[in-house]
Amino acid sequence: MKVPYVDLAAQHAPLEEELLEAVREVLRHGWFILGPEVEELEERLAERLGVHGVVGVANGTDALTLAMRLRCIAPGDEVLMPSHTFLATAHGARLLGAEPVFVDIEPERMLLDPARLAEALTPKTRAVVPVHLGGHVCDMDALVAFCQEHELELIEDCAQAIGSTWRGRSVGSFGLGAFSLHPLKTLSAPGDAGFVTVHDDEELERLRLTRNFGLRDRDHTEFVSDHSRLDTLHAAMLLVKLRRLDDWIAARQAHAAAYTAGLADHYRLIPVPEHSEVAWSTYVVRHPERDRILETLRTQGFDVKIHYPVPVHRQAPYADTGPWELPETERGVATMMSLPVTPELGPSDRDALIELLRGLA
C-alpha cells in the first residue's frame, strides 16, 4: 500500500537509539520479570492518566479479565457490553464463565447506548463494560449513574482510548480501566502488553498479587492465580514512547481536524461532545456505499480498514446466544470505515485521501 494504515518502522526510526539504549539497560541489570522499568512505567502512566494506580499485565484481554475478576465477576454472571467492539471484550467475560449480554449502540456516536441498558437488566446482571471505541468516550455521566443505581460494576474497555477524556477525566478513571499496549495501539509495546487502572490501595495490592501467582513474597502464595505480567523489556521501551504520547495525540487530532473539515459535507462522521477530548485511535467515516468506496481507495493505494465488519454477537462462540435486537450495530458495521490517523501519516497523503474521498461520495 502506498499509504499504510500504520507504519511502526516510521514511528520507531527516530527513536531507535533511545529504544536500544533502554533495551541495553535491561540487558545489563537482567531483571526481566517485574523489573524496575515496570514499576516506573506504572507510576508514569498513573500520573499521566490521573488515577490512583496502574498494574501492568501481559495484554489488554488479560487486563479485562483480571479487572472483572478483581470485581468478583464469576460463572453465570451477566455483563452488559456492546457487540460493536473487538471480540476480546466479550472473550474477557467468557474466560471467567460469565455471559456477555449485547446492548445496541447510539446511532450517532456508535458507542454503548445508555438508553438501552435498562431493558437488558436481569437478576444475574453484575457489570457494565463500555468500550471507548476508536478513542470516542462513552457517555460516562449516564453510565456511572446507571451502575450506581443498579449496584453494578463498571469496567471500562480503554484498549483504543489512551489519552481520551470525558469532562477532563481520563478514560479508566470512572471504573476499573482495561488498556491494551498492543503494537497497533496509540501507545504500543513491541509485542503484547496491557495494564489496568485501579482506584484504591486495596485493589492495587490485590491486582499485583493476581497477576503474579497470588505471591505475597517469594515463597508464599495467598490464592490460586495465573500469571500475567508486563515484560520489563516492553516497559523499558514503553517509557521512551510514553514521553512522545502527548505529541502523538496532538498529531492524531490534527489529522482528525483535517478529515472533519474536508469530509463533513460528504460523509456521516462521529460527533464529539464539547466536554470530551478524543485521542483518535481511528477516524471513522460512514457512507451507504462503503464497499464501493473502500474498494477504490484500496486500489489507489490507501489502506483503509473496517473496525469491525462482523459484530461479536455474530462470531462463532456467541452464535447460540440471544436472539439480539441490534439494528444500530448492524447499520453501523455495514456503513463504517476507518481512515489512517497515525502521527506518521504525512499531511500530503492525508489531503490526497480527503480529495479522493470527496470525489467518491
Ligand X SMILES: Cc1ncc(COP(=O)(O)O)c(C=O)c1O
- Give the binding range for ligand X (CB under 6 A) out of 45-53, 55-63, 227-235, 293-301: 55-63
Count of residues interacting with ligand X (CB under 6 A) = 15
Among 131, 245, 354, 357, binds ligand X (CB under 6 A): 131
Kindly state the smallest distance separating residue 217's Cβ from ligand X, in Å: 29
How many H-runs (helices) and E-runs (strands) does the chain carry? 12, 15
Name the one range near ligand X by CB under 6 A: 81-89, 108-116, 330-338, 347-355. 81-89
Q: Indicate the pairing of strand 99-103 with strand 78-82.
A: parallel
Out of 160, 164, 188, 232, name the contact with ligand X by CB under 6 A. Answer: 160
Per CB under 6 A, which of residues 242..281 are in contact with ligand X? none
Closest CB to ligand X among 70 and 357?
70
82 Cα distance to chain centroid = 13
Residue 60 one-letter amino acid: G
Determine phi and psi for 24, rounding to 5 degrees. Answer: -55, -40
Q: How far apart are CA 18 and CA 289, in angstroms?
A: 45
Judged by beta carbon, residue 157 or residue 357, the one nearer ligand X is 157
Q: Cell numbers of 296, please?
A: 477504490
Q: Considering only residues 3, 6, 41, 89, which one is a binding residue for ligand X as defined by CB under 6 A?
A: 89
Task: Return the number of the residue (300 or 315) whose C-beta is nearest ligand X.
Answer: 315
CB 55 within 8 A of CB 195: yes
Q: Does 170 bind ligand X (CB under 6 A)?
A: no
Site membership for ligand X, residue 60 (CB under 6 A): yes
Closest CA to 132 of 168, 167, 175, 161: 161
What is the distance between the alpha carbons of residues 205 and 187, in angstroms, rounded to a whole number? 25
Binding-site ranges for ligand X (CB under 6 A): 59-61, 85-86, 88-89, 131, 157, 159-160, 180, 182, 192, 194
